[in-house]
Every structure is written in C-alpha cells, then in structure tokens.
Amino acid sequence: MSNATPDWASLRKLFPATDTHVYLDGANKGALPRCVEEATQDWLRMVYEEAGVGAFSMDEIERTREAIAATLGAPSECIALTKNTSEGINILAQGIGLKAGENIILSRGEHENNTFPWRHLESRGVEIRWVEEDEHNTYPLDAYEKLIDGQTRVVTVAWVTYGVGYRADLAALSELCRSRDALLFVDGVQGVGILNHPISELGVDALSAGGHKAMFSLAGAGFLYVRKELIAEIDPPYAAKFSFTSNDRMREKVELSADAHRFEYGNPNYLGTYVQRRGAEFIQSIGLEHIEGRVQELSTFLMESALQRGHAVRTPREWHQRAGIVSLDMGRDAGSIADTLAEKNIRVSNKDGHLRATVHFYNNEEDIVRFLDALDSLR
C-alpha cells in the first residue's frame, strides 16, 4: 500500500455497477469490484482444470483467515470464518451460557440479526433490556449506565447502526462493561472495511460481520472475532471435525480447538472464502486509512448538500458518531421514493420509513448531486 492518495477515479472504474447506476446502497449489499469476478473465475478454473485441487484446500481457507486478520487488525487465531453476521452472533448467544435471571442490554436501533438471537433467549428466562434512542438519534453512554447491573452478562451493540447510521463509542462502552464485569459483543457489519480501527484495539470481546457490504465479498462469507482469552469460555452450538484439535474421531478424548477454529464445523464456503480473501487483499492494497478518509469526505458532502437543499438529515453530524450511512427524513414513508429512484437507476434504501443513502470510495460527488437532483424533482 502506498502512502499517496489513491486514484479514486481509476478505482471507480473497477466497479461495473457505477457505469450504469448511482449506487448508494452499500449498507444493503456492496457494489462488487472486478477482482470478485476474477477470483470466482480463478476458483472455477481450479475446479475445471485441476479437478478441484486447490479449490477445496483447507490451506486456502487458512490464507483467507490470515488475510482477514491482517486487513482488519486482529490475531488470526481469534478469527473464525462464518457465513454472516447472524451466524456469529448466534454462536455467541448460544455459547456463552446465559442463565435465567441474567440480562442482555441492546438498543432499539439494532438490526434484526442482532436482536432475534437474543430475544430467542427470553424463553429461557433471560431478560432483554432496551436502550432508547434520544432526541439526536443516538444512544448515549448514560442510557446504558442506567440499565446495567450485576446481572448483566452482555451488552450487544452495532458498531454503526443500520438505519440512522450512528457509530457507537466502543471505547466508552468497553470501559463501562469492564467495570461491571459484562461482555461487549458487536455487530460490525456496517463498520468493517470502512473504519480504520484495528479490531483488536477496539476493546470489544467479540465482533461479527458478514462480507457482502464493505468487504467486497459474496453473501455467505463472513467472520467472527473473539478475544483470545474469551474463546475457551464459549461452547459452540455446532461442532464437527474442524472444531477439534484432531480429526481422529476414535480418540479416547476429543478436545475443542483452543482458538477460533472451534467455531467452525463442516465444509466451509470454499468459493466464498476464496473471494473473501481477494476482497480483503483489495482493501489492504488501498489502505483503510484512505478508505475512511474518502468515505468521510463523501458522506460529509452528501449531508451538507442535503441540508442546503432543505432536506432533514437524521444522521449525527460529527464524524466520530457516523460512518458511510446518511439517513434522510422525507416527511412521508420513503418506500415509494426509493422505488421511483430505482426506476432512474439510483439505488438507495427505505429503512424504517426513512431514506438511507450509503457512500463508499467507489462513489463520487457527481453521484451525490444526481441523487439529490432526482430527490428534489420528487417534491
């Protein structure tokens, strides 16, 4: 990776969707670069021409683990390769040994995939405590402080919320959880690949993310990070040959792996992880510091331009409280607006009745102007 500013215009050309669309929907599914197609073809070539040698190699899986760890700043022994965010969260929710009478704290702004795995535990007597959104569309630390007590086992939070795009203060939450002997679990899918913060330095106990948004991978290829000291305390809900220290199923005693391999079980998503590695290497070649800087630049331009045109911006203004998502209150349900924009090849989302636009480095200022011009025409 060079310290020089990347050539964003050249990088944009690597994303075919930008040729025909204003693509501002990366918080839903990320636009994919050409390297995804190339990786898929390379993998299929191994299947066709080498009878699968390499394509179904566990050595390739380990290379992907190393690439994810290096790109996102975590020890490889703490990385499990999973299908998506929800699989990782379910591993945590089912494996931490929650008991009746204990409680989980989560906000009203969490995605379904960081809500249902915990609500499922209510049938076992686990209490869910909800953090309410304040008037600034944020979830301040004192709201968590009021709910946490001696029976709180887990605080679970989105690094960046899927709707309004609020970025949690993970350092402050980590300090709070440590002081109360609670665990901090994170849905990281809207932050990884965008924010330049090594996972191992976030202060979190675990972080789960799918690869299909800002990691430039296929759906079905994600990862779970678990702090090294916590791995042995999580009993995986599934176990098969890759979960154990040995594949000898007739050993007198079988032992779960001491590292994050224990959270993997049967045949992995060989194609998905092969593409996942190429996406991670692509990010690393650009540099997360450059990516975060460009996303900040574009999202700020979008927010300021929208405000100048009289649109109501719901997302917090300060960079430390947001990432690439910008949420707009249209004064009416945004579903029909998003549908009309889609007919103009402008891709955004309707989330919780509001219009959500998401920028990434493959966007440019012209995308934003075209989006806002089209939005103004619908008033």
Based on the fold, state whether residues 239 and 344 are members of the same structural domain.
no
Task: Write out the two tokens for 265.
Answer: 């079980």
* Residue 337 pLDDT class (50, 70, 90 cuts): very high
Based on the fold, state whether residues 261 and 148 are members of the same structural domain.
yes
Based on the fold, state whether residues 132 and 54 are members of the same structural domain.
yes
* Overall average pLDDT of the 172-192 stretch: 98
* Residue 175 pLDDT class (50, 70, 90 cuts): very high
- Dist. CA 163–CA 325, nearest whole Å: 8
* Residue 29 pLDDT class (50, 70, 90 cuts): very high
The reply to whether 61 falls in a domain is yes
- Dist. CA 1–CA 259, nearest whole Å: 30
> β-strands 22-23, 346-347: how paired?
parallel
The reply to whether 1 falls in a domain is no
> β-strands 79-82, 22-23: how paired?
unpaired
> β-strands 127-131, 152-158: how paired?
unpaired
Task: Tally the domains of the chain.
Answer: 2
Based on the fold, state whether residues 278 and 337 are members of the same structural domain.
no
Nearest in space to 204 (alpha carbons), one of 233, 177, 166, 181: 177
pLDDT by residue (tens digit) across 95-133? 999 999 999 999 999 999 999 999 999 999 999 999 999
- Counting every residue, how long is the chain? 379
Based on the fold, state whether residues 319 and 246 are members of the same structural domain.
no
Q: How far is CA 260 from CA 10, 183, 203, 210, in A?
A: 38, 17, 18, 16
In the predicted structure, residue 326 carries a pLDDT above the cut 60: yes
The last residue of one of the domains, among 285, 310, 333, is: 285
User: Is residue 131 within 8 Å of 152, Cβ to Cβ?
Assistant: no
User: Is residue 276 within 8 Å of 221, Cβ to Cβ?
Assistant: yes
Q: What is the pLDDT of residue 2?
A: 60
Based on the fold, state whether residues 179 and 110 are members of the same structural domain.
yes
Based on the fold, state whether residues 105 and 200 are members of the same structural domain.
yes
Based on the fold, state whether residues 112 and 248 are members of the same structural domain.
yes
> For the chain, how big is the Rg over CA atoms in Å?
21
Q: What is the pLDDT of residue 1?
A: 56
User: Is residue 371 within 8 Å of 23, Cβ to Cβ?
Assistant: no
- Dist. CA 216–CA 245, nearest whole Å: 31
- Dist. CA 3–CA 54, nearest whole Å: 34
User: Is residue 16 within 8 Å of 4, Cβ to Cβ?
Assistant: no
Phi, then psi, of 351 in degrees rounded to 5: -125, 115
Based on the fold, state whether residues 80 and 201 are members of the same structural domain.
yes
Residue 328: which domain range? Answer: 8-31+287-377
The reply to whether 302 falls in a domain is yes
The last residue of one of the domains, among 226, 254, 285, is: 285
| End-to-end alpha carbon distance in the chain | 45
Based on the fold, state whether residues 154 and 62 are members of the same structural domain.
yes
The reply to whether 118 falls in a domain is yes
CATH number at 368 reads: 3.90.1150.10
Task: Write out the two tokens for 367.
Answer: 């995308």
In the predicted structure, residue 247 carries a pLDDT above the cut 90: no
Q: What is the pLDDT of residue 151?
A: 98
Based on the fold, state whether residues 212 and 113 are members of the same structural domain.
yes
Based on the fold, state whether residues 213 and 272 are members of the same structural domain.
yes
The reply to whether 3 falls in a domain is no
Quick one: how far is CA 166 from the chain centroid?
14
CATH number at 76 reads: 3.40.640.10
The reply to whether 2 falls in a domain is no
* Residue 224 pLDDT class (50, 70, 90 cuts): very high
- Dist. CA 157–CA 169, nearest whole Å: 10
The last residue of one of the domains, among 285, 307, 325, is: 285
